[in-house]
Amino acid sequence: PLAEPLILHNGSLAGAEGCRLVCDDVTKGKLAVYRHGQRLAGASVIMAGVVLLGNRIKIGRGVLIESGALIKEPAIIGDSSEVRQGAYLRGYCLIGRRCVVGHTTEVKHSIFLNDAKAGHFAYIGDSILGTAVNLGAGTKLANLRFIRGEVMVKTPDGAINSGLRKFGAIFGDRTQTGCNAVTSPGTVIGRAGIIMPNTTVPSGCHPAGSLIK
């Protein structure tokens, strides 16, 4: 773990000694770092206690990575995104701009498009979150069948073999889940879908605007 906070500015890392940090709404570009009274435009903050495993980790401008987060390579974290305390990025993670990877949220082999947020206690495995998707606390995107084999995606025209042993979910833009929602492996939700709290979503393709409860 990092013994002290680091400031990433213009491609260079430096200690935070002599800096004043203003950790306001990161996703709205309000993270601010001042050194000797001068603002370091676009600076990112990596707090003490963060673990970075590997050299293939790219961190954008205005990013905040809180203490206790563990990030494995390869990973990309876009501008003005926030990786909160205890988050676990297990590698092959692409996090877009203005995203949130929340407290004790685990992400592996997944993509967050811009403005996607998983703020609290979520699991996102082998999945894609569209633009402005929001996952309620405790949402889990299951990615592995009980019975060994490749994940099948059910459609009105029959099942499609994904060719993948692990495949979680694809959420269209602006889809939302309530707290403790769970999706089965091979779930595809169209744009602006809503999954109600405590709902288990069956595998398959659900059209845009679906209300699943």
Selected catalytic residue, list 36, 103, 109, 120: 120
Look over the chain and give the mean of its residue pLDDT values, rounded to a whole number: 97
Query: Taking the chain, what is the end-to-end CA distance rounded to the nearest angstrom?
Result: 42
Per-residue pLDDT at 47: 97
pLDDT tens, position by position, 174-199: 999 999 999 999 999 999 999 999 99
Is 120 a known active-site residue?
Answer: yes
- Work out the average pLDDT over 10-31: 93
Per-residue pLDDT at 169: 99
- Work out the average pLDDT over 36-57: 96
Per-residue pLDDT at 42: 96
Per-residue pLDDT at 134: 99
Cβ atoms < 10 Å from Cβ of 155: 11
pLDDT tens, position by position, 85-94: 999 999 999 9
Alpha-carbon distances, residue 57 vs 53, 78, 79, 95 (angstroms) = 8, 11, 14, 11
Asked if 105 and 122 count as a contact pair (C-beta separation under 8 A), the reply is: yes
Domains of the chain in sequence order: 44-212 (2.160.10.10)
How far apart are alpha carbons 169 and 200 in whole angstroms? 13
> In the chain, pLDDT over 70 holds for what percent of residues?
100
* Better pLDDT: 157 or 110: 110
What 3-state class would DSSP assign to 76? strand
> In the chain, pLDDT over 90 holds for what percent of residues?
95
- Work out the average pLDDT over 20-34: 94
Per-residue pLDDT at 38: 94
**CA torsion sign, 212 to 162 to 77 to 51?**
positive
- Work out the average pLDDT over 156-168: 95
Task: Name the β-bridge partners of 211.
Answer: 194
CB neighbours of 178 closer than 8 A, spacing ≥ 6?
136, 194, 195, 196, 197, 198, 199
